[in-house]
């Protein structure tokens, strides 16, 4: 089971880093989606930086728990954004990212 946990940690971290940086660098799709929620480009960039830092924080044991919750909230906001922007078909995938972030809390035991 350890390999499954490590795989999840790696995948959700890569998603959080890439998604966060896409927002920081003003990716057009995210600007369009989040502006429909009333976010300015500056707020979207700050949101992306928070998402990026939370994804990095998953790898640091002493900040893992707040990082998990921060990343899960960021992914939850993104899910809401997809509905607001009228692209709810992608929302189930976004919900999977919320679950993946929360599953990082289930740290494997040494015997697993």
**In the predicted model, what is the mean pLDDT of residues 22-35?**
94
Judge if pTM exceeds 0.85. yes
> What does the angle CA 16 – CA 47 – CA 55 come to, to the nearest 5 degrees?
25
What three-state secondary structure class fits 4?
Answer: helix
CA–chain centroid gap for 72, Å, is 6
C-alpha separations of 75 from 2, 50, 88, 109, 112 in Å: 24, 11, 14, 27, 29
CA–chain centroid gap for 22, Å, is 12
End-to-end CA distance of the chain: 6
Q: Could you state, in order of their start, the residue ranges of all structural domains in the chain?
A: 2-103
> What does the angle CA 100 – CA 40 – CA 34 come to, to the nearest 5 degrees?
35
pLDDT digits (tens, 9 = 90+) for 45-78: 999 999 999 999 999 999 999 999 999 999 999 9
At 88 the pLDDT is 80
Contacts of 85 (CB under 8 A, 6+ apart): 32, 33, 36, 37
At 108 the pLDDT is 74
**In the predicted model, what is the mean pLDDT of residues 25-36?**
94
């Amino acid at each position: 089971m350890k390999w499954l946990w490590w795989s999840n940690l790696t995948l959700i971290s890569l998603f959080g880093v890439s998604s966060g940086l896409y927002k920081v660098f003003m990716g057009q799709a995210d600007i369009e989606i989040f502006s429909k929620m009333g976010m300015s480009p500056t707020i979207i960039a700050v949101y992306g930086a928070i998402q990026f830092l939370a994804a990095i924080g998953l790898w640091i044991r002493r900040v893992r728990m707040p990082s998990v919750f921060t990343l899960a909230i960021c992914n939850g906001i993104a899910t809401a954004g997809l509905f607001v922007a009228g692209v709810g078909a992608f929302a189930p995938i976004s919900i999977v990212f919320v679950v993946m972030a929360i599953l990082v809390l289930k740290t494997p035991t040494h015997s697993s």
